[in-house]
Amino acid sequence: MSISRRGVLAWPALAVLPALSKHAMAAETVRIGYIEALTGNAAAAGQSIKQAAELAVEIINTPHPDLAPLTLAGTAGLPNLGGAQVALTWADNQGSPAVAASDALRLITQDHVIAMCGAYQSSCTLTSSAVAERYGIPYLAGESAAANLTERGYKWFFRTTPYGPDFAKLYLDFLADVAKGGLATGRIAVVHENTDYGTSVADSMVSTAASRGIKIAQRIAYNANGTDVSPQVLELKKGNPDVIIFISYTSDSILYLKTMKTLDYRPPIVIGDDSGFSDPSFIKAVGPIAQGALNRSAFVPGKPDSITYKINALFKKRTGRDMDDTTARSMQGLFVLCDAINRAGSTKPEAIREALVKTDLPASQLLIGYKGVKFNAQGQNILAYSLMIQLQGESYVPVWPADQASAKLELPFKGWT
């Protein structure tokens, strides 16, 4: 413990005094660089992720037998490295791709990290992982969902999170199932913010739907920093779709719900694609008028004796908030990376990379609802998975598929009373 604490406290000085950093590395601390959106547009999400990752490090570094069989929870540190402690070095990408690349270089060459995680915005993940690729440092993306990240043929890049096409399949499967119950789901509207996140998920949605012979009825792109969404809501009201899928960040999600209430528009089915709808501030701000909103999530707190429940309790004790899908996905990414380092039994990047390639974690060792973790040749986790959750009261509850549901699906969308 004392080692890792000294490491953490000493790091700011290291950033400008590279000569000193060799002393810190003399200890057997395993240093991982984490690039995150700590300021800028996505700061709210980035800050939560930082808290979650710090909790993950605590779980890894100190024994938590009650959390077994979660990987590395039962032991102190990384057993195959003589119980070495894990320490994170944080860097802020400021929401800028160029800053993220600078961060990556600094983490690799100054802080001598042996592996990296990050970087929330797909654009920042893209530039920072390119630096890691050039230096031969393993890079694990637990959050970024843009499809092109794993299409680059990189050797050192791995992604645990599901991405665009996975989400599209989930929604279409869900809607097909709902349709069996008699509710119309044929006319789908996709409303998405127009930067890389919204555009790429919407593109996946359109192409996946097309492959099943479904035509997206309305597609509305908008600017997430906009000040007013009334025209979009009016357009939806006029188009009157059966289903609206919002691919939105937090601020715009809040505005949509407020405006829908003002204009008294209740579409039959409302799906929010994670980000904005999952943000705890969304629930706090507009939860009472968003009752019945659906969302995807790979994380569900579950029953009081489950691992997920206990981890959520630890997180809540630290932060006063519940975990959400985003924080859980990042945490899971970090666990997968540390597991690979442990299996490698070495801090050599090449050994870690080989261990990552061989990763084959069963669902029982995860804290998140993936069916497992196993990477394909592009580095994409092929067992990533999410389920559908619904806002009922003050929290989301799993409602689909039926075998994992803890509450009954309530349709149509109720909104407010």
Partner 1 sequence: MIPLRRAWPVAVLVILAIAPFLTANPFYQRVAALVVLAAISASAWNVIGGYAGQISFGHSIYFGIGAYASLLLFGRFGLPPIAGAPLGIVASFVVSLIIGPPTFRLRGHYFSMGTFAIAALAEILVVNWKFAGGAIGLMGPAMPRSLADLLFRNSLPYYAIFLAVLALLLALTHLMQRSRMGFYLRAIGAGERAAESLGVPVQRYKLYALLISGAFTALAGSLYAVMIGFVDPESGFGILISVNMVVIAALGGVGTLFGPLAGAIILVPLQETTNALLGGSGTGAAYVAYGLIIMLIARFSPGGLAELWPLINRNGRRRAA
Partner 2 sequence: MILLQLVSDGLQLGAVYALFSSGLTLIWGMMNVMNFAHGQFVMLAMYVAFFCFTLLKVGPAFFVPLAAVGLFGFGVVVYLLLVRHVMRGPMLAQIISTFGLALVLQYSALWAFSANFVSLPTTLVGGVYDLGGVRLSAARLLAGATAIALTAGMHLLLTRTDLGSRMLAVSEDRVAAALVGIRPDPMQALAWGLGAAATGVAGGLIALFFYVSPDVGNSFTLLAFVTVCLGGFGSVPGALLAGLVIGVVESFSAYWLGPATKDVVVYGLFVALLWVRPQGMFGRA
| Token pair 């996505």 in the structure block, residue | 42
- What is d(CA 209, CA 172) in angstroms, rounded to the nearest whole number? 7
Return the structure tokens found at 132: 């890691």
- Candidate residues 87, 101, 113, 285; the one interacting with partner 1 per rule CB under 8 A: 101
Q: Is residue 251 within the footprint of partner 2 (CB under 8 A)? A: yes
- Candidate residues 110, 259, 281, 392; the one interacting with partner 1 per rule CB under 8 A: 110
Q: Which does 263 bind (CB under 5 to 8 A by kind): partner 1, partner 2, none?
A: partner 2
Q: Which amino acid is at 416?
A: W
3 state DSSP class of 63: coil
- Candidate residues 226, 239, 345, 372; the one interacting with partner 2 per rule CB under 8 A: 226
Q: Is residue 194 within the footprint of partner 2 (CB under 8 A)? A: yes
Q: Is residue 283 within the footprint of partner 2 (CB under 8 A)? A: no
Q: Is residue 308 within the footprint of partner 2 (CB under 8 A)? A: no
- What is d(CA 354, CA 27) in angstroms, rounded to the nearest whole number? 24
Q: Which does 366 bind (CB under 5 to 8 A by kind): partner 2, partner 1, none?
A: none
Longest dimension (CA), the chain: 69
Q: Is residue 12 within the footprint of partner 2 (CB under 8 A)? A: no
What are the phi and psi torsion angles at 407 (to 5°)?
-140, 165
* Residues recorded for the chain: 417
Q: Which does 94 bind (CB under 5 to 8 A by kind): partner 2, partner 1, none?
A: partner 1
Q: Which is nearer to partner 1, 86 or 257 (CB)?
A: 86
| Token pair 């939560």 in the structure block, residue | 48
Please provide the DSSP assignment of 227-243 as one string.
S--HHHHHHHHHH--SE
Element (H, E) at 88: strand 86-92
Q: In the window 168-207, what residues touch partner 1 (CB under 8 A)? A: 194-196, 198-200
Please provide the DSSP assignment of 401-417 as one string.
SGGG-SS----S--B--
Q: Which does 44 bind (CB under 5 to 8 A by kind): partner 1, partner 2, none?
A: partner 2
Residues whose CB falls within 8 Å of the CB of residue 152, separated by 6 or more in sequence, listed in order: none
Q: Which stretch binds partner 1 (CB under 8 A): 13-21, 300-308, 389-397, 407-415?
A: 13-21
Q: Which does 279 bind (CB under 5 to 8 A by kind): partner 2, partner 1, none?
A: partner 2
- Candidate residues 4, 45, 46, 242; the one interacting with partner 1 per rule CB under 8 A: 46
Q: Is residue 126 within the footprint of partner 1 (CB under 8 A)? A: yes
- What is d(CA 69, CA 299) in angstroms, rounded to the nearest whole number? 17
Q: Is residue 93 within the footprint of partner 2 (CB under 8 A)? A: no
The distance from CA 402 to its chain's CA centroid, rounded to whole angstroms, is 23
- What is d(CA 235, CA 175) in angstroms, rounded to the nearest whole number? 22
Q: Which does 74 bind (CB under 5 to 8 A by kind): partner 2, partner 1, none?
A: none
Q: Which is nearer to partner 1, 99 or 172 (CB)?
A: 99
Q: What is the DSSP letter of 22?
A: H
Q: Which does 134 bind (CB under 5 to 8 A by kind): partner 1, partner 2, none?
A: partner 1
Q: Mask of contacts with partner 2, 37-76, x by CB under 8 A?
A: --xxx-xx-xx-----------------------------
Q: Are 248 and 192 in contact (CB under 8 A)?
A: yes
Q: Is residue 255 within the footprint of partner 2 (CB under 8 A)? A: yes
- Candidate residues 279, 324, 325, 339; the one interacting with partner 2 per rule CB under 8 A: 279
Nearest distance from C-beta of residue 94 to partner 1, angstroms: 7
Closest CA to 199 of 268, 256, 146: 146
Question: What is the per-residue burial (b if ≥16 Cβ within 10 Å, else e) of 11-44?
Answer: beebeeeeeebeebeebebbbbbbbbbbebbbbb
The distance from CA 268 to its chain's CA centroid, rounded to whole angstroms, is 27
- Candidate residues 135, 222, 265, 416; the one interacting with partner 1 per rule CB under 8 A: 135
Q: Which residues bind partner 1 (CB under 8 A)?
A: 11-12, 15-16, 18, 36, 38-39, 43, 46-47, 50, 89-92, 94, 96-99, 101-103, 105-106, 109-110, 122-123, 126-127, 130, 133-135, 146, 148, 152-154, 194-196, 198-200
Q: Which residues bind partner 2 (CB under 8 A)?
A: 39-41, 43-44, 46-47, 194, 220-223, 225-232, 234-235, 238, 250-251, 254-255, 258, 261-264, 279-282, 284-286, 288-289
